Each structure stands twice: as C-alpha cells, then as structure tokens.
C-alpha cells in the first residue's frame, strides 16, 4: 500500500525554489545620516530614515529641495560616507569608494592638460583594460557620448558640455553596472543640457546600466528616469516614489514631452517637490 502523504511535512511545492527575483543593485534600509556632533560642533541630521531598493536596470532620479540630503544619499551609496545608522548595500555588499559604481559629479573631474582620448584611456587603464584594447574601447566610448571627432583635443579646448560628456565616458569606461550622477548637467546652458539629457537617455536605454541621478529639475526627472523619488526637506525622507512608464526607445524628445502622461507626471512630481520644500 502506498504510504499516505505525511501531512506534517511541508507540501511538495515548498521544495520548488521560490520564484527568483534578482537581488536589488542598491538596497538602503532605515538609513539615517548625521554630520558633525563631535566636540564643540553642532550635529546636522541630513537624511532619513530612508529605505529604498533599486533593481537592476532602473534609472532612478532623486529630486528634492536644496540641502535635503540628495548628495548625502548618493555619497552613502558610493561608499564615500558610512551611514550613521541603518544599512546600505550595493550588489549585496557594503559599498567601497570607487569599487562598485561609476560616478559623475556636477563639475567634471578631468585632467585638463591631457587629450579627450587620454582621459578616457586612463579610465580604461585604471579599470584594468589591457593596453591593446584601449584605443578601440576609447573610440567606442567617445562615439557613444557623441564625441567621436574630439579625441585629440585637450580638455581645456572643449566646452563645458563636451567636458561633461568626457566625464560620462570615463564613468562608463570602468564597466561598472551602477552609475551615480550628482546634478551632472546643472552647470550647463539650457540647450546643451537638453542635448546631454537626450544622449544620456539613449545611452542608458542601450546599456541598461542601473543609474541614480540627482537633480533639482522636475522636467529632467520625468524625461530621464524610469522612476522618480522625491525627498522631503532636511532630513530627507521619501515623500513620493513613482514609476515613470514612458517609452524608453523609439520616441523623440519632443514627442515624449508632448505626451499627456508626461504632463501628468510633471504635475504630480512638481506638486510633491513644492510640498516637500515647505
């Protein structure tokens, strides 16, 4: 006689591994961050508590009033700061500076006396790309950021927008699967800024690199992101966390900005940012 199923045991289905959700790229759990507070200094709680999970391929845009802790959150993810409390993990590990993420700052950090190509080539060298492959990879990266003809020019000879493109190429050169960008277009004129937004949107859709992008601009958040997180005034907390379900490819910038969903998202995020600043 076949034995009856043992009802005390977990049913067979429990042996089937749970449906695999790939682990988040960035995981921020109950994070608070306070600066100072040492002898004689006043402490400033800049951020939190904040919890956030960023899955692979997400382009998350962080928006919020000045001083609400956006850069602090980015620096915690980059490993430049350790959270006062809570946990930050990147690819399941404690972040170490320069190890898991490529970083782009508001002011491009380049070698001004070197050529565009050398700046990218050096980033490839630091990333361990063999010498023989560097020229080809440099050309590819410069093509990707729209600088194919600029390789031989020196950094001081090119415009601010072009310099920021070089900075993006350098960040991509590391081959990191995470990009952190802190207001990279804030110092650029409006037209240059729009061009870089369009190109970054395309690059991110093509490479699928997980990105965290900080900005003041609601339009930039809607245009660039697959998701927007609005932080409240200091100490920053998540005031709104909203997916941006706009097409990532095949839709031109004007067409995109003309979509009714675009206007609706702008309005909703704009309201949240204004409320957050109160």
Over the window 9 to 48, marking each residue x when it contacts ligand ADP by CB under 6 A and - when it does not, the resulting string is: --------------------------xx-------x-x--
Quote the least distance from Cβ 28 to Mg ion, whole Å.
17
70 interacts with ligand ADP by CB under 6 A: yes
DSSP-derived secondary structure for the chain: -PPPP-TTSPPGGGGSPPP-PPPPSEEEEEEEEEE--STT---EEEEEEEEEEE-TT-EEEEE--TTSSHHHHHHHHHTSS--SEEEEEETTB---TTTSEEEE-SS----TTSBHHHHHHHHHHHTT--HHHHHHHHHHHHHHTT-GGGTTSBGGGS-HHHHHHHHHHHHHHTT-SEEEEESTTTTS-HHHHHHHHHHHHHHHHHH--EEEEEES-HHHHHHH-SEEEEEPSSSB-EEEEEE----SSS--HHHHHTSHHHHHHHHHHHHHHHHHH-
Applying CB under 6 A, the span of 63-71, 143-151, 160-168, 186-194 interacting with ligand ADP comes to: 63-71
69 interacts with ligand ADP by CB under 6 A: yes
71 interacts with Mg ion by CB under 5 A: yes
When CB distances to Mg ion are compared, the closest residue is 71
Applying CB under 6 A, the span of 12-20, 59-67, 124-132, 247-255 interacting with ligand ADP comes to: 59-67
Applying CB under 6 A, the span of 49-57, 60-68, 99-107, 130-138 interacting with ligand ADP comes to: 60-68
Q: Which does 36 bind (CB under 5 to 8 A by kind): Mg ion, ligand ADP, none?
A: ligand ADP
Quote the least distance from Cβ 122 to ligand ADP, whole Å.
28
* Closer residue to Mg ion in complex, CB, 146/225: 225
Quote the least distance from Cβ 173 to ligand ADP, whole Å.
26
Binding site for Mg ion (CB under 5 A): 71
- Chain contacts with ligand ADP (rule: CB under 6 A): 35-36, 44, 46, 64, 66-72, 234
């Amino acid at each position: 006689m076949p034995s009856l199923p043992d009802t005390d045991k977990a049913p067979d289905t429990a042996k089937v591994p749970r449906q695999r959700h790939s682990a988040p790229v960035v995981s921020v759990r109950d994070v608070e961050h306070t600066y100072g507070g040492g002898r004689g200094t006043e402490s400033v709680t800049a951020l939190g508590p904040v919890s956030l999970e960023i899955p692979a391929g997400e382009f998350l845009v962080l928006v919020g009033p000045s001083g609400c802790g956006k850069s602090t959150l980015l620096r915690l993810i980059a490993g430049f700061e350790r959270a006062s409390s809570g946990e930050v993990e990147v690819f399941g590990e404690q972040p170490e500076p320069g190890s898991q993420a490529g970083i782009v700052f508001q002011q491009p950090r380049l070698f001004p006396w070197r050529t565009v190509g050398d700046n990218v080539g050096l980033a490839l060298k630091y990333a361990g790309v063999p010498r023989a492959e560097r020229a080809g990879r440099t050309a590819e990266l410069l093509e990707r950021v729209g600088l194919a003809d600029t390789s031989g020019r020196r950094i001081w000879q090119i415009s601010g927008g072009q310099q920021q493109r070089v900075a993006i190429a350098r960040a991509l050169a590391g081959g990191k699967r995470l990009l952190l960008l802190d207001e990279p277009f804030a110092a650029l004129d409006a037209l240059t800024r729009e061009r870089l937004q369009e190109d970054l949107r395309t690059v991110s859709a093509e490479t699928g690199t997980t990105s965290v992008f900080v900005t003041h601009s609601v339009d930039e958040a809607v245009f660039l992101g697959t998701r927007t997180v609005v932080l409240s005034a200091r100490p920053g907390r998540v005031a709104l966390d909203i997916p941006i379900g706009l097409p990532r490819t095949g839709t031109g910038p004007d067409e995109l900005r003309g979509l009714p969903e675009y206007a609706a998202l702008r309005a909703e995020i704009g309201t949240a940012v204004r409320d957050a600043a109160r």
